[in-house]
């Protein structure tokens, strides 16, 4: 066994950032990764149609965090990409998040100002002071008709739970717009890495102080690795503790079954992502990767997403029941010295890519007590 200072489990965002940070201060880092590739769920590759596709679903980077934006720009050029999503509802195609166009198309209204939109929402919404779950959050914003058409069944397909069974925060990810803004996000920085995320990760992990062991399950080899200064674990928290608090009540995760198809046409659909919030199909959305970065190919790759219970865990399921089970693991995790739980699965939190970058950077700063803005340029 070689001498290592820092052992990291998982080569996704959290693992890669911590590896890069520790390597930059001269630590010898070993990353143990179960899959046969780096980049976690951001992993992308050029497929048989010559199109850059993401193996685990589209990843749209957006952030208001100056420090995160500065950090990721060290490792890739980024081109501006303001993501848009449309939804097929009642044989119509409408923007999501709900904006003026969404309402006009679905209800044949003629709204054309912010004030009229606010009035329409006021007439339709059910005011709920502090929404305690996803259903109340949506009813409070847009009311029951849009709830039924755009949120209720999509959420059931995505989570196998109705919005009432999920925290308000899940549905609050989607805002409502009083104007014609049809962008999915409104952050200051919205961009994609030139050449893709895998290249970005290769660059983050370039330091020779970093060694990566792919296709290795940490739990099969952990006895071989002792004597390190710190361990960073980015896998599912319950797995770390051998599921000891989940014997009767399992911590829930959602996975996605991606069904990919080549279509012999220039384009299949008019937008990168088309959501299907109704009950007429079982999938949640169709992604056409060619749209990202306006890629060229005489064919096109489309991927239908079916969210499922079994399979690799992608999403924690935020609700009080799971929070309670997670709290039992967290209490134990907090007692471990020099073992740190980082990222979506280890923290059992549904956060975005930029938050994953930020959490890992912040953890490094806290542990090493370094000046936040002191990144190499
Ligand atoms: N959602 C919905 N209808 C949509 C899009 C989203 O009901 O057309 C709900 C659904 O519950 C989803 C949540 O809003 O899980 C957050 O959506 P987001 O696009 O952030 O999900 P992600 O891209 O992370 O899967």
- Please tell me the residue having the least CA distance from ligand 1 atom 1: 151
Say which residue the tokens 């890069």 belong to: 20
- Beta-sheet pairing, 210-213 with 29-32: parallel
Identify the domain boundary among 171, 205, 221.
171
Residue 61 lies in a domain: yes
Whether 156 and 213 share a structural domain: no
Tell me the sheet residues that pair with 261. Answer: 302
Identify the domain boundary among 156, 171, 186.
171
Whether 156 and 27 share a structural domain: no
Rounded mean pLDDT, 62-78:
98
Residue 302 lies in a domain: no
- Please tell me the residue having the least CA distance from ligand 1 atom 20: 173
Residue 297's Cβ-count burial label (10 Å; 0-12, 13-18, 19+) is middle
Residue 257 Cα, ligand 1 centroid: separation in angstroms? 16
- Write out the residue range of the structural domain in which residue 54 sits: 6-79+194-245+317-368
DSSP SS3 for 232: strand
Q: Is the CB of 326 under 6 A from ligand 1?
A: no
Residue 158 Cα, ligand 1 centroid: separation in angstroms? 8
Residue 173 Cα, ligand 1 centroid: separation in angstroms? 7
Q: Is the CB of 250 under 6 A from ligand 1?
A: no
Determine the atom of ligand 1 nearest the C-alpha atom of 155: 11
Residue 53 lies in a domain: yes
Whether 238 and 120 share a structural domain: no
Q: What is the pLDDT of residues 87-128, one digit of tens each?
A: 999 999 999 999 999 999 999 999 999 999 999 999 999 999
Whether 50 and 199 share a structural domain: yes
Residue 293 lies in a domain: no
Whether 73 and 14 share a structural domain: yes
Q: What is the pLDDT of residues 156-205, one digit of tens each?
A: 999 999 999 999 999 999 999 999 999 999 999 999 999 999 999 999 99
377 pLDDT above the threshold of 50: no
- Please tell me the residue having the least CA distance from ligand 1 atom 25: 158
pLDDT at 3: 87
The CATH number given to whatever domain includes residue 38 is 3.40.50.720
Whether 150 and 112 share a structural domain: yes
Rg, the chain, Cα only: 22
Compute, in degrees rounded to 10, the torsion defined by CA atoms 226, 231, 235, 239: 50
374 pLDDT above the threshold of 90: no
pLDDT at 139: 98
Q: What is the pLDDT of residues 269-308, one digit of tens each?
A: 999 999 999 999 999 999 999 999 999 999 999 999 999 9
Residue 184 Cα, ligand 1 centroid: separation in angstroms? 11
- Please tell me the residue having the least CA distance from ligand 1 atom 3: 151
Residue 188 lies in a domain: no
Identify the domain boundary among 118, 137, 171.
171
Whether 39 and 134 share a structural domain: no
Query: Looking at the chain, how many residues does it have?
Result: 377
Q: Is the CB of 151 under 6 A from ligand 1?
A: yes
Residue 253 lies in a domain: no
pLDDT at 249: 82
Whether 16 and 70 share a structural domain: yes
Whether 208 and 153 share a structural domain: no
Whether 142 and 239 share a structural domain: no
Residue 292 lies in a domain: no
Whether 164 and 214 share a structural domain: no
DSSP SS3 for 215: coil
Provide the ipTM. 0.98
Structurally, the chain folds into a number of domains equal to 2
- Please tell me the residue having the least CA distance from ligand 1 atom 7: 151
DSSP SS3 for 259: strand
pLDDT at 140: 98
Residue 217 Cα, ligand 1 centroid: separation in angstroms? 31
Tell me the sheet residues that pair with 341. Answer: 233
- Beta-sheet pairing, 230-233 with 6-9: parallel
Whether 219 and 331 share a structural domain: yes
Residue 376 lies in a domain: no
Q: What is the pLDDT of residues 346-372, one digit of tens each?
A: 999 999 999 999 999 999 999 998 655
Residue 155 Cα, ligand 1 centroid: separation in angstroms? 7
For the sheet with 189-193, list strands across it: 61-63, 189-193, 78-80
């Amino acid at each position: 066994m070689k001498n290592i200072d820092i052992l990291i489990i998982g080569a996704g965002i959290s693992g890669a950032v911590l590896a890069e940070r520790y390597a930059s201060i001269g630590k010898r880092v070993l990353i143990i990764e179960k899959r046969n590739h780096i980049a976690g769920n951001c992993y992308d590759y050029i497929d048989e149609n010559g199109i850059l596709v993401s193996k685990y679903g589209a990843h749209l980077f957006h952030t208001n965090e100056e420090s995160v934006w500065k950090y990721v720009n060290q490792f890739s050029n980024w081109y501006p990409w303001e993501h848009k999503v449309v939804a097929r509802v009642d044989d119509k195609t409408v923007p999501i998040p709900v904006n003026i166009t969404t309402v006009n198309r679905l209800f044949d209204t003629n709204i054309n100002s912010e004030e009229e939109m606010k009035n329409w929402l006021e007439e339709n919404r059910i005011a709920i002071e502090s929404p305690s779950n996803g259903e109340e959050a949506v009813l409070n914003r847009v009311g029951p008709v849009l709830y039924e058409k755009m949120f209720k069944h999509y959420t059931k397909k995505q989570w196998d739970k109705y919005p009432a069974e999920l925290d308000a925060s899940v549905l609050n990810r989607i805002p409502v717009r009083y104007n014609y803004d049809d962008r999915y996000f409104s952050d200051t920085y919205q961009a994609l890495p030139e050449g893709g995320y895998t290249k970005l990760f290769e660059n983050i992990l370039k330091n020779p102080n970093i060694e990566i062991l792919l296709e290795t399950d940490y739990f099969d080899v952990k006895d071989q690795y002792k004597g390190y200064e710190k361990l960073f674990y980015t896998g599912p928290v319950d797995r770390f503790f051998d599921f000891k608090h989940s014997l009767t009540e399992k911590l829930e995760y959602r996975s996605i079954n991606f069904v990919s198809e080549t279509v012999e046409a220039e384009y299949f659909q008019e937008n990168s992502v088309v959501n299907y919030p109704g009950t007429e199909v079982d999938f949640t959305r169709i992604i056409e990767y060619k749209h990202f970065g306006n890629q060229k190919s005489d064919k096109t790759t489309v991927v239908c997403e079916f969210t499922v219970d079994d399979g690799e865990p992608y999403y924690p399921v935020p609700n009080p029941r799971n929070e309670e089970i997670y709290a039992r693991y967290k209490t134990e995790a907090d007692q471990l010295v020099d073992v740190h739980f980082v990222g979506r699965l280890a923290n059992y939190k549904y956060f975005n890519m930029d938050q994953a970058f930020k959490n890992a950077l912040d953890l490094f700063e806290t542990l090493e007590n370094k000046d936040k803005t002191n990144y190499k340029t």
